[in-house]
Every structure is written in C-alpha cells, then in structure tokens.
Structure 1
Amino acid sequence: MKKFIFKAAALCCALSLSACTSKKAVSVTPPDGSLDKCELRFSWWGGDDRHEATLKTIDLWSKKHPDITITPEYGGWDGWTEKVTAQMKGGTEPDIMQINYDWLITMSPDGKGFYDLDSLSGTLDLSGFDEDTLSFGRADGKLNAVTVSLSGRGLFYNSEAYSAIGADYPRTWSDLIALGESFGSHDAYPLDLDIQSGGTAWYLAVVYIQQKTGRQFITLDGELGFTQEDIRDALDFYKLLEDNHVIRTVKTRTDEDGNAALYQSSEFIGEKVAGVLEWGSAVGKYEAVLPKGVLEAGPLLAGENGNNSGWMIKPSLLYAVSGHTKYPDEAAAFMDLLLNDEECAKILGTTRGIPASRKASSALEKSGALTGLSKESQDILNETDTITISPYMELSRMKSFYNTAIESVSYGTADTEAAAEQMYRSVTEYLEKIKNEDPNLP
C-alpha cells in the first residue's frame, strides 16, 4: 500500500471532508465518579471469532465500570445494513455502533447522522491515529467515526486440499483458470466466491479489469470509471471462471449451500471448495471452521507480466456514536477502551484486522499476538500497489446491481452484453441521483 497517504487525502477531498488539527495526547476515561450510571447498547456484525472476543471485552469493561452496562447486539453481515438503516431512520439505533465504510454517505451525508467525536476528546483519545486514517471517518468536516483497521480482500487456500492434488497456489490469472481442470477431476474447486456477502464475485472481476486497463471502476468522488465495454469484459471474465470449473455457478452454490454463508457450508468445511476471497479483517471465521493451520494466505493474482495492481483497500470497519445517545461521554469512554486499551487489544486480537490505533497494535506486537492470517494478508497488501475503494462502490443498492448482472449471466437469462448494458445504465443513474438527491433512495 505504498500510495495510501495520497489516497486517503484524496478521499478526504472527494467526500467534501475537511482537514482537522493534529491530535495531542489527552487524559481519557475519567474516574467512575464522573461517568453516569447508565445502560448503553453496542452493535456489530461478524463471525463467531469476533463475537466471542467482543463479548469478552464487554466483560472487561464491566469489571472496570460496573455501573455502566453494555448491552450487545450482534449477528452476521447478511441483512445488517438494512437493520441499522431502519434503526437510524426511526431514531432507535444503538449508542455505539460498528459501521461500514459507505454508511457515512447514506446515514450521515451532512455529518449530523452520528455524534461529532471531536467534541468528546475528554473521554476519547485519538492521539494514536494519524490524520489520514481519521479522514476516512469525517463527513462534512465532522469526525463521525474512527477507523478500526484498514483491510483488503485477499486469497486464502485450504493447504490440505491443494496438497492432496499436488497443486501450488496460483500466482497469475492464467494459473487460477488452469487449476479448474485439476480440481474438477477431483469433484472440487480451487476457489469460490461467497454469494451471501454481497458483491464478492463482482469484486474479483473488477480487480481483473482494473489491473488490465488501469481504470478504477468507481472513482473516490463517485464517478463511473469503467466503460460499458469494461463491464462486459468483467462479466466475460466471471463467466470464464464458471465455464472452466474454477468457481461454482450461482445455481450450484444455491443448491448446495442454501442460505448458508460460504464459511458455514459443508462444501467449504468438507474441502470441496479449496479457496476463498475474503477481507483480511474477517478471514478468522473461515479459519475457525478448519483444523488449525490449514488455511493459508496466497499471493494476490497478477497478469503474465507480473503486474498485480488493481487490488483494493478500505477501512474494514469503523466505530461511531449515535447522534441521539443520552450518554455521549460514556459511549466515548467505551469506544476508547475498544480502540486503545492494552488488555482489550489482546482480547480482540486481529478479529477486526490489524488495529489502526498505534496503542492497540503496539500492545499486540509486544505480546507477540500480531500474527496470523490477518497479519499475513496485510503484509501481502503492503507489497502491492493498491487502490482505495470508493465508498460509492460499497453501497447496498450498488451491490444489488452487481449481483443482478452476475446472476443473469450465470443462469443464462442474459448474455454479457445485455447484462453489461443494464448494469452500466443502473450504476450511472444511481450515482447521479445519490450525489444530487437522497443517498437513501430505493
């Protein structure tokens, strides 16, 4: 991620975010006597590894602040955006929330949807964050959220499944396509793309075309960078993966997995699916269902010339405080524990990626816990000329356009030319509307 500082600054401008003053160390988390006795709700999504670690941090908080109860609300990613959107519209959202990158556009375009964290400096210490990282959480000049970690999707493989057929992890797109035949003879697949996570299949196709053309699918300021022909080429590439037995068709995945996420499916656990594309900050849920050490990080795929650009990074998630909370100082104090507390950092480990907070990452490094697939994935990304994902690409409505195109091509209800024409029109129209009207458009 050699160009991260420039990209973060560009994003700050693209979202009409203003620069903030340099943070100085502050005395945070006042004695219990200066915090009110109350109950706070904290919501997040994730896999079991994240849930278990987060519940332990709530227990840690309870020991430090027995008069302030933290009520957890958590679940999987599927449907989570819709749930929180409804809560925000009804003013019933939790006091502290784990939020996604694009939610600042949809839930706080004017910076008023979440609490301005700059006003809570007495209980929230931001001295361990650089301004470029903080800029991701600014909306209309207000610090609405704090980046927990930076992450990108990586490729992770079942080492036993690959060893069983004597295959090496692919390094180029051609290597990946060639593996389809080898795995197909064993009724298995070298890779699969989780249709439950929203946009995963399209993500890989986008990386391929970005690498091939040097154009970004959607720019940081919300402009469509792909031509209609680029979109068709991306859909052609996706269909190539299906046709060559690299990944399962949408129908096959649905028939075999039902509504289960890929990491919960018998096909992945049973080694019929030998590879996944996943965020480094969330890969723990895949690792947890396999024997220890079986899942390994592989190289990011490159062209035949070795060019592996086009891969993307973003804030994996952020923490925000509700603009309606009755207890902002108490909420900020709990967020401070999540972000900066040394003991808490050891409990959470890398279940939310490598911490962006220098205090938390230093605590993990000192304890020898800054290891594992999240760290390996981050190291691989650090050696890659990555692109910062546009938050517009992450919008739920946009993902519905991607999935519609992928499904129509997979089921054969439309050819790639027709599907590309429809996606190009839908994406162009929605980007225009969302920038000029209401980001919560249906």
Structure 2
Amino acid sequence: MTGKYILSAAATAFLLTTTAASAVELRMSWWGGDSRHAATQEALKICGEKHGHTIKPEFTGWKGHLAKVTTQIAGGTEADIMQINWPWLPLFSASGDGFADLNQLSGTLQLDNWTDAQLASTSIGGKLNGLPLSTTGRTFFFNKATFDKAGLAVPSNWAELFAAGPALKAKLGDGYYPMNAIKETAALLVSLYVTQQTGKDLVDPETGQVAWTADELAAGIDFYGKMVAEGVVMSQKDVAAAGNVRLYENPKWADGEIAGSYEWDSTFFKYSDPLGEGQELVPVKLLMTDGAVTEGIYRKPSMMFSISKHSANPEAAAQILNCLLNEEEGIAALGTTRGLPASSAAATQLKDGGSIRPELAEANALVMAATGPTVSPLNEHPEVRSAFLDTLEEYSYGQINPLAAANQIIGDVNNTLSEFN
C-alpha cells in the first residue's frame, strides 16, 4: 500500500466519520389540512436526504394546536422547528427570548430573501423569532362591472369612493353600495384611516400602549359614520336585518350591488369565485386622502417557521428550514400550501412555474409595495379586537358618540396591553 493510498483512505474515513456525526434527528410541528400535511412530509423527506438529517413530523388540524404548543413550550419539549401563528408571538416571546434568534443563524439561513419590513414583523427586541412563510395584507377589491355599468371609474381615493355612493344609487338603484364595511372590516377601515392620518400603528412599540390619542381615533370612527350616513356602506342595522350574511355568501355581492370591500389579498378568489356572470373583481391600491402621511398598509405574516431555543441542533434545524423556504427542492415540494411564499426565491420559482394565478400575484404586489408602520401582533389579540367590534356596534346603534367610543376603546385596549408590558 502506498503512502498516497493510506492518506486517501484516512481522509475518506475522516469524512465519513464527520458526515455521520453531523447527521441528526429533528422534530417539526405544524397544523393544517391533508394537502399541507402531505406536501410538508414530502418536503421534509427531500430536505432531510439532501442535508443528511432525519426529521420526525408532528402535525394536527387547527383545533387544539395552540394548546398543544403551549404545553410543549411550557415544558421545554417543543419541536426543533415549529409553525407558529403570527398573533402568538406576544404569548410565547413577549421580550423576544421565546424562540431561537435566527439572526444568529444567518450563515445558514438566506435571510436576504425577505425584506427588512418582513423580518421586522417577526422580530421582537431586535431578535428574529421566525421566518414569514407568506405575507398577507388588507387591500381593496372592487367589482369593475358595477362601476362600468354606472359609467364610473373604479375609485382610486377616498373622495371618489364617497362620490360613488350617491352616484351608484342614482344610476342603478337605492340598493347599490360601492363598499362593504361590517364588523372586522369596519374596525380595520377605522384603523386604516387613523394610521394614514397619524403614521402610527395602534400599538406604540416603545410604550406598549395605544399610540393614538382619543381625538385621532374619534376622527376615524367619525369617518366610518360618514360612510354610513352618505350611503357608501350599509349600516350595521341594515346588515343585521338582512341576517348578517357573510359577504362572499351574500346575493348582493354576487350580483354586484355591493361593489367593493377591504379584504386580505390572499382571499381574492374567496370573493371573486361567488360573483355572477359578467362581474369582474379587481384589486386596487389603498385609497388615501391628500392629508395622509402613509398608505397605512396592514401587512403581516400569515404564519412563520421558528426554531426552538431549546433545540440541541439549531444549525441542522436551520439547514432544513432554509431548504424548505429557499432551496429549489423544498420550494417545489411545499408549493403554495401556505400561501404565496414570502421568500423571494420561492415566490419567483413558483410564479415562473405557473403555480400562482396572476390575480393573486397582482393583489399581493399591491400589498408588498404599500407603505406603513410595522403592525404589532397585539392588534389581533382577541380582547383588543373585541374592544373595537363591541364599541363600534354601540356607536352604530347610536348609543355612544365618536369621542366616547374612542376613549372606551383606548381604555379597554390599554388594559389588555398592560398584561404584556
């Protein structure tokens, strides 16, 4: 045996030893339906084989998943990689220390596939708690056929929307409205107006309390009241009298009598599919007034992948995470089972491959291009949302004026936020 051969054999043995040592067993948990379960298991198999790791899948439906993850995290027994709902961030990581800081794994994770704004939305205290899987936001959908029928352009600002209210009624009938604004949609329209006027999200990131003054919020509530009074939207009373039918199940929506709404871009087909023959839904940029300081986009991660701070193998977990979201094989396997991907590498690959319908891509492009402050996940705390919905209902029935409503909302929301300060 020559010296050269001995050296080669030793080197080979060393490589095999180090490769075997680097191969680890990981766990990954998520919720979803059958298509997501199948795609994710296939992606884990592919990425595991590519990087030399074995990943045990742990999946459930939506119901009960939060309770399961809460119990695991409390006991330090959570999976290495977890699918986490964005509003859960304050519950599990109020100070940013609840998950591994993915900034520390930037040598493995291709973080440049996300914008700074996207990464900020899943960061707390400067610590990156997860990678957004898809980014969604509220934008306007209008039924172009209704406006065409009335000889009107689709609204491009608030003034045109207000003008369309009486114009549609005059030309098509009293039952026509250019906009929908009920319950959550009404509350988010109020928030949109206030954010546009102030440049501030509801939650002040420095104080952890409501960032808006009572007068600022009252102006938003009054704005909603004018929408009702001037025939831009149906009143809560009229909607209740009609049975509180969900918009996408409402015949007035299908027939084009209600000709617009403010919805998540990712739900475009949920609202376009029920439209009758000849109707045409189009996504539109956020409406603004001349005095607005920002578009006020309500943009958020639909969900994220996080790595456990207790993981014994965070680098291996990061390899799998990067494969799922940024590498060709993982991207192809996951597809659109978690929406239009936030990773630019994944979005480009799937768009080029024809996996993403152009209407959805157009709506998402509007969301991604819009400006606005980073939205706190505490906006979606159940008690915060309830404070808005309950008080706006009182206001809609004339039981409270805009300023009193604003003070009541701010007081209730601050009480909830104080639990996280």
Number of aligned pairs? 387
The alignment partner of 1:154 has SS state of strand
> Which of 132, 137, 155 pairs up with 1:170?
155
After TM superposition, give the deviation of residue 138 of structure 1 in Å: 3.3
The alignment partner of 1:283 has SS state of helix
Identify, as 1 or 2, the structure richer in helix: 2
Sort the Cα spacing of 1:141 and 1:307 in 2 relative to 1 into closer, same or farther, 3 A. closer
> Which of 134, 142, 146 pairs up with 2:119?
134
After TM superposition, give the deviation of residue 403 of structure 1 in Å: 0.9
Sort the Cα spacing of 1:91 and 1:369 in 2 relative to 1 into closer, same or farther, 3 A. closer
- Corresponding residue for residue 397 of structure 2: 411
> Which of 230, 236, 253 pairs up with 1:250?
236
Q: Hey, what's the Cα distance between the residues in 1 that align with 2:282 and 2:330? A: 26
After TM superposition, give the deviation of residue 159 of structure 1 in Å: 2.4
Q: Hey, what's the Cα distance between the residues in 2 that align with 1:286 and 1:341? A: 33
The alignment partner of 2:223 has SS state of helix
Give yes or no for contact 1:208–1:310 (8 Å, CA) kept in 2.
no
What are the superposed Cα offsets for residues 372-398 of structure 1, whole Å, 9 maximum, x if unpaired?
A: 234323443565443322333333321
Q: What TM-score does the superposition give when structure 1 sets the normalisation length? A: 0.70
Give yes or no for contact 2:150–2:168 (8 Å, CA) kept in 1.
yes
Sort the Cα spacing of 1:188 and 1:231 in 2 relative to 1 into closer, same or farther, 3 A. same
Paired residue type of 1:159: K
Paired residue type of 1:356: A
Sort the Cα spacing of 1:397 and 1:63 in 2 relative to 1 into closer, same or farther, 3 A. same
The alignment partner of 2:303 has SS state of strand
Q: Hey, what's the Cα distance between the residues in 2 that align with 1:162 and 1:52? A: 40
> Which of 315, 335, 344 pairs up with 2:300?
315
Q: Hey, what's the Cα distance between the residues in 2 that align with 1:326 and 1:215? A: 37
1:321-332 matches, cutoff 5 A: 321=306, 323=308
Sort the Cα spacing of 1:333 and 1:246 in 2 relative to 1 into closer, same or farther, 3 A. farther
The alignment partner of 2:266 has SS state of coil
- Corresponding residue for residue 277 of structure 1: 262
Give yes or no for contact 1:350–1:374 (8 Å, CA) kept in 2.
no
- Corresponding residue for residue 220 of structure 1: 205
After TM superposition, give the deviation of residue 155 of structure 1 in Å: 0.3
After TM superposition, give the deviation of residue 43 of structure 1 in Å: 1.4
Give yes or no for contact 2:137–2:297 (8 Å, CA) kept in 1.
yes
The alignment partner of 1:157 has SS state of strand
- Corresponding residue for residue 180 of structure 1: 165
- Corresponding residue for residue 42 of structure 1: 30
What are the superposed Cα offsets for residues 46-101 of structure 1, whole Å, 9 maximum, x if unpaired?
A: xxxxx6863563374377479867565456xxxx7xx5553444338985654443
> Structure 1 stretch 388-397 or stretch 327-336: which is displaced more?
327-336
Structure 2 residue 135 is the aligned partner of structure 1 residue 154? no
Sort the Cα spacing of 1:214 and 1:74 in 2 relative to 1 into closer, same or farther, 3 A. same
Q: Hey, what's the Cα distance between the residues in 2 that align with 1:314 and 1:299? A: 13
Sort the Cα spacing of 1:231 and 1:307 in 2 relative to 1 into closer, same or farther, 3 A. closer
Paired residue type of 2:204: T
Q: Hey, what's the Cα distance between the residues in 1 that align with 2:242 and 2:313? A: 46
Paired residue type of 1:245: G
- Corresponding residue for residue 414 of structure 2: 428
Structure 1 segments unaligned to the other structure (5+ residues): 1-29, 45-50, 436-442
Paired residue type of 1:243: A
> Which of 34, 40, 43 pairs up with 1:58?
40
Q: Hey, what's the Cα distance between the residues in 2 that align with 1:58 and 1:105? A: 26
Sort the Cα spacing of 1:245 and 1:374 in 2 relative to 1 into closer, same or farther, 3 A. same
After TM superposition, give the deviation of residue 285 of structure 1 in Å: 2.7
Structure 2 residue 287 is the aligned partner of structure 1 residue 301? yes
> Which of 83, 86, 95 pairs up with 2:67?
86
Give yes or no for contact 2:87–2:381 (8 Å, CA) kept in 1.
yes
Q: What TM-score does the superposition give when structure 2 sets the normalisation length? A: 0.73
Sort the Cα spacing of 1:308 and 1:150 in 2 relative to 1 into closer, same or farther, 3 A. farther
Give yes or no for contact 1:43–1:97 (8 Å, CA) kept in 2.
no
After TM superposition, give the deviation of residue 313 of structure 1 in Å: 4.3
Structure 2 segments unaligned to the other structure (5+ residues): 1-18
Sort the Cα spacing of 1:192 and 1:281 in 2 relative to 1 into closer, same or farther, 3 A. same
Sort the Cα spacing of 1:129 and 1:353 in 2 relative to 1 into closer, same or farther, 3 A. same
Give yes or no for contact 2:196–2:295 (8 Å, CA) kept in 1.
yes
Sort the Cα spacing of 1:287 and 1:123 in 2 relative to 1 into closer, same or farther, 3 A. farther
Sort the Cα spacing of 1:171 and 1:84 in 2 relative to 1 into closer, same or farther, 3 A. same
Q: Hey, what's the Cα distance between the residues in 2 that align with 1:157 and 1:286? A: 10
Q: Hey, what's the Cα distance between the residues in 1 that align with 2:272 and 2:325? A: 24
Sort the Cα spacing of 1:57 and 1:167 in 2 relative to 1 into closer, same or farther, 3 A. farther
Q: Hey, what's the Cα distance between the residues in 1 that align with 2:182 and 2:234? A: 10
The alignment partner of 1:281 has SS state of helix
> Which of 345, 366, 386 pairs up with 2:352?
366
The alignment partner of 2:141 has SS state of strand
Paired residue type of 1:431: L
- Corresponding residue for residue 105 of structure 1: 90
After TM superposition, give the deviation of residue 203 of structure 1 in Å: 2.0
After TM superposition, give the deviation of residue 318 of structure 1 in Å: 3.2
Give yes or no for contact 1:300–1:308 (8 Å, CA) kept in 2.
no
Q: Hey, what's the Cα distance between the residues in 2 that align with 1:321 and 1:273? A: 41
Paired residue type of 1:210: T
After TM superposition, give the deviation of residue 170 of structure 1 in Å: 1.1
Paired residue type of 2:300: P
Sort the Cα spacing of 1:344 and 1:251 in 2 relative to 1 into closer, same or farther, 3 A. farther
